[in-house]
Amino acid sequence: MKLTILGGGGFRVPLVYGALLADRGEGRVTRVVLHDLDDSRLNAVARVLGEQAAAVPDAPEVTATTDLDEALRGADFVFSAIRVGGLEGRADDERVALAQGVLGQETVGAGGIAYGLRTVPVAVDIARRVAHLAPDAWVINFTNPAGLVTEAMSRHLGDRVIGICDSPVGLGRRIARVLGADPKEAWIDYVGLNHLGWVRGLRVAGRDELPRLLADPGLLGSFEEGKLFGVDWLRSLGAIPNEYLHYYYFNRETVQAYQQAEKTRGAFLADQQARFYEEMKRPGAAALSAWDRTRAEREATYMAENRESAGAGERDADDLSGGYEKVALALMRAIARDERTTLILNVRNQGTLSVLDADAVIEVPALVDANGAHPVSVAPLPEHATGLVCAVKGVEREVLAAAESGSRATAVKAFALHPLVDSVNVARRLVEGYTDVHPGLAYLR
Ligand code: G6P
Ligand code: MN
């Protein structure tokens, strides 16, 4: 079985390869093709994978190429984990937004729109190439903003593209853990958009255990989301939001924290990873240990400004690794081997949330088998959550329209309609700022 990884020179590829190495089952991946635009990044990652495979018999064979068509031909699965504009682009997204007093996070608010406007045209090209060269392949999209990018690709690939994120899994796992339940036995009632969803219940043996958590301030304040959002707010909501909703519910504080930070997240990661890739050019460098050190530092500092502004302290050791490679592997196995399972995924709505049309990509538990991912039916969201979901989906649709038409006015509309952008004039200045720094936005006219 052939797996192609787009963005194959990316920093998190060794996580995926590590998960593949641990898979000893029948029908596992035997060939991995890494595709990237940058040869030196491919070499760096190939060195890490080489060290990972050293002690493993029958490790999947790894090849690397900068030729997209060659990478796609004959692929059974395609993981798409690209970063258009690199981490410098991410840092620019943050800087331009913060200068206007709004959030520049890569998936939320102005930053997410800017990143989406740059990424959608590239993702659409890839989807077209896949449809042409590997029409039977399943595409698993990791590329952020994951919901929007998955929807863009689904217009060309239908349900053969599925988006993934590890944050709902991590959230469900944390809630199960504080409740003393086995996450594998729990049904997590979660729905929304990517980085914009809520856990409304967690059923074990047919009983909803979430009310027990909401009723117990000690328990509620003992884990990541309790510390981030505060016990009182979670009790008012009657649900546990995805951690990315911190940017919405505490927008003023998070913007301030990011403005005051010594470096934005993108700038920090750009510097950190530049050092890693530089080190990998040195003959004799210990690739795996350098990668592992860099990874650990990245995980420990994840959402640090949010936690600091909320007084939430350090991350729990158990939460450090999100495990998105595990979600990807579980999804791939369920499809390839017809191992029926349920995963929270980004898939087309198909009527699951009645307020959105059938083609809107949402994040929801889905039953997965050899036929793909089938969203399960869920209870409707309360009005306040429906309002946010519809507003943000409306913004995503403007981003898709701007990417298709190249209309600058539509791009302004996308920014202006976002709940975290507080004026049409701000939206105009954002489009100016972003088109000034990003060559990838030259198509907006
Ligand atoms: C979480 C999010 C991902 C994100 C990752 C890394 O897992 O769900 O969407 O890519 O964190 O975030 P970072 O800030 O380290 O790039
Ligand atoms: Mn995510």
Statement to judge: residues 215 and 128 lie in one domain? no
- CA–centroid distance, 107 to ligand 2, in Å, is 8
Q: Is residue 56 situated within a structural domain?
A: yes
pLDDT digits (tens, 9 = 90+) for 75-99: 999 999 999 999 999 999 999 999 9
Statement to judge: residues 20 and 144 lie in one domain? yes
Q: Is residue 244 situated within a structural domain?
A: yes
Statement to judge: residues 243 and 261 lie in one domain? no
Range of the domain at 267: 252-310
The answer on pLDDT for 322 being more than 90 is no
Atom of ligand 1 nearest to the CA of 324: 7
Q: Is residue 108 situated within a structural domain?
A: yes
The answer on pLDDT for 258 being more than 90 is yes
Q: Among positive and negative, which fits the CA dihedral 224, 230, 233, 236?
A: positive
The answer on pLDDT for 385 being more than 90 is yes
Atom of ligand 1 nearest to the CA of 146: 9
Residue 302, CB-side half-sphere exposure with 13 Å CA sphere:
17
48-71 average pLDDT score: 97
Q: From CA 162, how far away is CA 373, in angstroms rounded? A: 8
β-strands 31-35, 161-163: how paired? unpaired
H/E stretch holding 44: helix 39-53
Residue 56's pLDDT band, with cuts at 50, 70 and 90, is: very high
What's the mean per-residue pLDDT of the chain?
A: 97
Query: Residue 55's pLDDT is what?
Result: 87
Statement to judge: residues 12 and 131 lie in one domain? yes
Statement to judge: residues 154 and 270 lie in one domain? no
Query: What does each C-alpha distance from 146 to 83, 107, 195, 406 come to in angstroms?
Result: 12, 8, 9, 21
pLDDT digits (tens, 9 = 90+) for 110-152: 999 999 999 999 999 999 999 999 999 999 999 999 999 999 9
pLDDT digits (tens, 9 = 90+) for 207-252: 999 999 999 999 999 999 999 999 999 999 999 999 999 999 999 9
Statement to judge: residues 106 and 244 lie in one domain? no
Whether 443 is in the pocket of ligand 1, judged by its Cβ within 6 Å, is no
The last residue of a domain, from among 130, 163, 196: 163
Statement to judge: residues 53 and 116 lie in one domain? yes
Q: Is residue 356 situated within a structural domain?
A: no
Residue 8 CA to its chain's centroid (Å): 16
Q: Is residue 403 situated within a structural domain?
A: no
Q: From CA 382, how far away is CA 384, in angstroms rounded? A: 6
Q: Which ligand has the nearest atom to the CA of 147? A: 2
The last residue of a domain, from among 228, 249, 270: 249
- Tally of structural domains, the chain: 3
pLDDT digits (tens, 9 = 90+) for 327-375: 999 999 999 999 999 999 999 999 999 999 999 999 999 999 999 999 9
Query: Residue 324's pLDDT is what?
Result: 86
The answer on pLDDT for 317 being more than 90 is no
Q: Is residue 432 situated within a structural domain?
A: no
Query: Residue 85's pLDDT is what?
Result: 98
Q: Whose CA is nearest to atom 6 of ligand 1?
A: 302
With beta carbons less than 8 A apart as the criterion, state whether 391 and 429 touch.
Answer: no
Statement to judge: residues 46 and 20 lie in one domain? yes
The answer on pLDDT for 321 being more than 80 is no
pLDDT digits (tens, 9 = 90+) for 423-445: 999 999 999 999 999 999 999 99
Residue 301 — φ and ψ, nearest 5°?
A: -100, 5
Statement to judge: residues 146 and 43 lie in one domain? yes
Give me the amino acid identity at 274: A
Whether 142 is in the pocket of ligand 1, judged by its Cβ within 6 Å, is no
Q: Is residue 436 situated within a structural domain?
A: no
Query: Residue 393's pLDDT is what?
Result: 99
Atom of ligand 1 nearest to the CA of 303: 14
Query: Residue 245's pLDDT is what?
Result: 98
Statement to judge: residues 173 and 155 lie in one domain? no
More confident residue, 15 or 316: 15
User: With pLDDT > 90 as the criterion, what percentage of the chain qualifies?
Assistant: 96
pLDDT digits (tens, 9 = 90+) for 342-353: 999 999 999 999
More confident residue, 384 or 27: 384
In the three-class reduction of DSSP (H, G, I as helix; E, B as strand; rest coil), residue 203 is classed as strand
Statement to judge: residues 139 and 53 lie in one domain? yes
Q: Among positive and negative, which fits the CA dihedral 256, 258, 259, 260?
A: positive
Q: Whose CA is nearest to atom 3 of ligand 1?
A: 165
Cβ count near 39 (within 10 Å): 12
Residues 6+ apart with CB under 8 A from 252: none
More confident residue, 321 or 208: 208
The last residue of a domain, from among 113, 128, 163: 163
CATH code, domain with 128: 3.40.50.720
Statement to judge: residues 224 and 260 lie in one domain? no
Tell me which residues have their CB within 5 A of the ion that is ligand 2.
165, 167
User: With pLDDT > 70 as the criterion, what percentage of the chain qualifies?
Assistant: 100
Query: Residue 119's pLDDT is what?
Result: 98
Query: Residue 328's pLDDT is what?
Result: 96
In the three-class reduction of DSSP (H, G, I as helix; E, B as strand; rest coil), residue 200 is classed as strand
The answer on pLDDT for 315 being more than 90 is no
- Record the pTM: 0.98
The answer on pLDDT for 320 being more than 90 is no
Tokens of 379: 């209870």
Give me the amino acid identity at 382: P
Q: Is residue 41 situated within a structural domain?
A: yes
Whether 324 is in the pocket of ligand 1, judged by its Cβ within 6 Å, is yes
Query: Residue 83's pLDDT is what?
Result: 98
